[in-house]
Amino acid sequence: MSVPIFRALWGMTGELAEQVGRIAAAGYDGIEVWAAGFGTRPAELRPLLDAHNLKLIMATSIDTQADIEPTLKRLADYEPLRINLHSGRDSFSRDEGCAYFEEALRVESSLLIPIMHETHRGRLFFTPWDTAYYLEHFDSLKITADYSHWVNVCERLPDDQAEALALANQRAIHIHGRVGYEEGPQAPDPAAPEYALHLAWHERQWTAIKLHRDNLDDFPLTFTPEYGPPPYLHTIPHSGVPVADLWQICLWAKDRARAQFG
């Protein structure tokens, strides 16, 4: 099965209609929108997306259990295909984390929109082993696989976490296709030969996710080449000039994912 590929609005400039048109013209299947600071109302966004036949993923961070229901209900008004969360805090106790996910799953069941919890620094899924703990306790948890963060947090390609990786790959329904390395969550240019080992490692995980999802009928895989602007993207000291073209990096990653996934 082909994999719909989304373009995050992160790092884009100009009027929203211009951004959406440019994304559609570049051959993406949808957009991924970070809700914080996004001023467009659902009634304004939906016709714009429909005009270009684009799908929608909404994303946000929710730090506290009390904020889960009102935040998810607000994002559900946009009628997204799914919702991506930066969930909780890395400092939560296991009991606090379990209570957080119990509430998230309760609200998800009432909304009938898949909720994905991202593997992200500073969040409950900030390491492979912490993520495995919660996935083993909650069979219905789904993840956004952004393993660039795990490479950075572990300061290695975490092949020693094979069991945790296998479990995460089974629960991933969305991929943030960004290549990380030991000292950062974003390789300045994933096509550069010095990051070939890291690119190959990430693509092995993405392929494992795709193969697993192809054998299931529940949640088709989606993919966002989620490379970001400075300070995620390296800059030349003193001048602040980015060392690479963000739009072109995302296009390269999109086209490579198309070749990988069909």
**Assign residue 238 a region: left if phi > 0, alpha if psi is -120 to 50, beta otherwise?**
left
For the chain, what is the mean pLDDT? 97
> Residue 124's domain is classified under what CATH number?
3.20.20.150
176 with 148: CB under 8 angstroms? yes
The whole-number pLDDT of residue 110 equals 96
Strand partners, 174: 144, 222
Residue 119 lies in a domain: yes
Task: Give me the pLDDT at residue 24, please.
Answer: 98
Is 1 domain-assigned?
A: no
Per-residue pLDDT tens digits for 126-182: 999 999 999 999 999 999 999 999 999 999 999 999 999 999 999 999 999 999 999
Chain segment 212-230, per-residue pLDDT in tens: 999 998 999 999 999 999 9
pLDDT of residue 262: 73
Q: For residues 230-239, give the mean pLDDT.
A: 97
Closest CA to 144 of 87, 100, 197: 87
Q: Could you tell me the pTM of the whole model?
A: 0.97
Residue 42 lies in a domain: yes
Q: How many domains does the chain have?
A: 1
Range of the structural domain that residue 256 is part of: 6-261
